[in-house]
Amino acid sequence: MPLRRLHTRLLLAVSIPLILVSTTLLPVLHVHMETRLNSLSAEADALLKVGQEALTRDINESLNYALAIAEMPGLRRYLTAQSLTTLTEQQYSLSDLSQLSNFLTTLISHNSRYTKLVLIDNQGREVLRAPRSIETGPRISGNLHVNTDYFIEASKLLPRDLYISPPGHNLQFELFGRDVIPVVNVSTPVFDATGERRGVVLLSLNWDYLTDALRQAMLLDQNANTLLVDAQGKWLLNEGIESIDTASFGGNFAALSPQYWQAMQQRNEGNATVDNHLLRFQTEDIRTQRYRSLAGTIFSDNADHPWKLGATLPRPTWLSLFKEETTVLWFLLLTYGVAVAFGIFWSISSQRQRELRQAAQRHAYEVSDLYENAPCGYHSIDKSGLVVKMNRTELAWLGYSAKEVIGHINYRELITPETREEFEKAFQNVKDNQSGSAECTLLTRNGEQRHVMIQGSAYTRNGRFVHSRAMVFDLTERKQLEEKLRAQAMTDPLTGVFNRRYLQAQAKIEMSRARRQNHPIALITIDIDHFKHINDEYGHDVGDDVLKNFTQIVSDLLRQEDLLCRVGGEEFAVLLPNTAIELAQQVAERIRASIEEATTLVEYEGTQQALKITASLGVTSVRDQEKSLKPALKRADIGLYEAKENGRNQIIIHTE
């Protein structure tokens, strides 16, 4: 009996500690596994967010690039010249073409994101290519694009609309350097200043470059994999993944990896566990508002959209957890009672610490997210003006990364010289522990200006200034509205040129500059002959078209510093700074001859008719002693009326 009791006690002494140790160890491992899974899920979310931001940024920059090129005045004029029937009618010289071609070639050659830029006329003919081909000339036939999806679809679009070919569709592979790569074709229509459709701009994106940038952005974990497939299950990345059955670009991902494809097809976004991997994915549609940026509407092939962007990470196993906890496990098994007490304490405290840590992380994330993504900018600068902190909103305004700004740039360098003095006054008030505010203009990385209101206060420690805490409110839209209203007040709404009010205001400035620099100023007044007859016979709509065509002809003949204004119904004035009366007479003769030679096409009673017009011109010089433009206008008008009395379509110089 005693021996039997001894055996029972020994069995209990051994069994109970083992049971307690096992009971203690299992929750610890479970908590650890849950923590690892939560961390893995958070990491997958971070990977996906970074990838989505990189994809959105790269595509939006590419689309904005295409729109900017399509709205280039030189490109529009070249397409307009291509629509003329003979070379002798073209107003676009070979030197102009060479400059345009060199400029576009430089743009494309210095940006690895693009492979080529092609300019296509309304008939689908290729009229210009960058990088330049040996066929480039003023009237090349080029390659025919008339049957391609990007030309057909772009020809239907409105200004600032875009069409994007699915990756690998129509000219899907190109020789780029020594490599054959897939491309994505972005096309947009080109309209001239009168709203006439002149052709299509095609910009081919290097899909390898974009997908490499996406991979690099999501390369936060060496065990992570990036997935990008279209709505048909086609693989869109330039390389496959060894751990997943995928092919290179264009492979059938849906057939090779059906489990992944089925998980991604069921929802627009979410998590799934496939082959002991955590899959995190979401839907990306380049036709949505997020990808439009400066574009109007984006069109593409509906069958290939939307895409699925995903990230995979290997899930932890119990075996890996046991390997990580070997020391603790053996210690607990060897020390029995101490191990039991330690295990219970560690389990409870670990769970509590985990809850507190998660709560602290959530709170820190909410505070950080509120600071970083606030609708206004936040920054802190030290006593010398060096930036010590800046949120993402203001960094995005400026176009810099945090690493480039924080600890490296003095905030004064980001403010234009014209508004720097107001900033210095406000900053001095902050350093004196007072509130300070200033309306300043920030200079962004790409040279643009952004008008802001800065309101700052001081952060002190033991009564000493440590750094400022400033809020920055964007006033750009307000400033733009003010500029727009000012421009509308100074601009003729029909022709788009300046009006009499602007002419008088600008003339004072030019006359003052001419007196200081001892330069001559000339003035030309122009009146369209028999314009009342055009209005009476064809109607005011035709008359408006004549006025707009007239201003376009005259504008093309003037220098950048010359000023064309509409001062009456069909009367215009041209102010020519730094121009002697002899040179002004030559300019007037070019204007008269160009108007006489030009033809205005108008719609009248359902048919298109060609109108020929002439103009009478008066020329004079602005005298040094004159304080306003009124006397010169009167002299030029006298010459103008004399030209009309002498039979019209002529120039009269009046200097008395």
Q: Classify residue 288 by its DSSP letter.
A: S
* Dihedral sign from CA coordinates of 69, 72, 75, 76: positive
**Is there a contact between 36 and 270 (Cβ–Cβ < 8 Å)?**
no
- Give the pair of three-digit tokens for residue 460: 């002190």
Return the HEC string of 304-358: HCCEEEEEEEECCCHHHHHHHCHHHHHHHHHHCHHHHHHHHHHHHHHHHHHHHHH
Question: Residues for the chain: how many in total?
Answer: 656
Residues with Cβ within 8 Å of 408's Cβ and at least 6 positions away in sequence, in order, are: 387
Q: Which amino acid is at 650?
A: Q
Residue with tokens 């098994």: 333
Whole-number Å distance between alpha carbons of 183 and 165: 9
Give the residue from 477, 440, 476 showing the smallest Cα distance to 455: 440
Contacts 24+ apart (CB under 8 A), 478-486: 478/451, 479/451
Q: Which amino acid is at 175?
A: L
Residue with tokens 């690895």: 112
Mark out the alpha helices in 387-499 (DSSP H runs). 392-398, 402-405, 417-431, 476-490
DSSP symbols for 2-63: HHHHHHHHHHHHHHHHHHHHHHHHHHHHHHHHHHHHHHHHHHHHHHHHHHHHHHHHHHHHHH
Whole-number Å distance between alpha carbons of 94 and 526: 31
Whole-number Å distance between alpha carbons of 171 and 126: 14
Between β-strands 563-566 and 571-577, what pairing exists: parallel, antiparallel or unpaired?
antiparallel
Q: Which amino acid is at 450?
A: R
Q: What are phi and psi of 164, to 5 degrees?
A: -120, 120
| 193 HSE (CA, 13 A, CB side) | 18
C-alpha radius of gyration, the chain, whole number: 36
Give the residue from 496, 546, 503, 495 showing the smallest Cα distance to 521: 503
- CA 493, distance to chain mean position in Å, is 29
How many CB atoms sit inside 10 A of residue 318's CB?
Answer: 9
Whole-number Å distance between alpha carbons of 240 and 248: 5
Return the HEC string of 478-497: HHHHHHHHHHHHHECCCCCC
Whole-number Å distance between alpha carbons of 644 and 368: 74
- Give the pair of three-digit tokens for residue 97: 């073409």
Catalytic residues: 570
Q: Classify residue 207 by its DSSP letter.
A: H
Return the HEC string of 542-585: HHHHHHHHHHHHHHHHCCCCCEEEECCCCEEEEEEECCCHHHHH
Q: Burial level of 310, CB count in 10 A (0-12/13-18/19+)?
A: buried
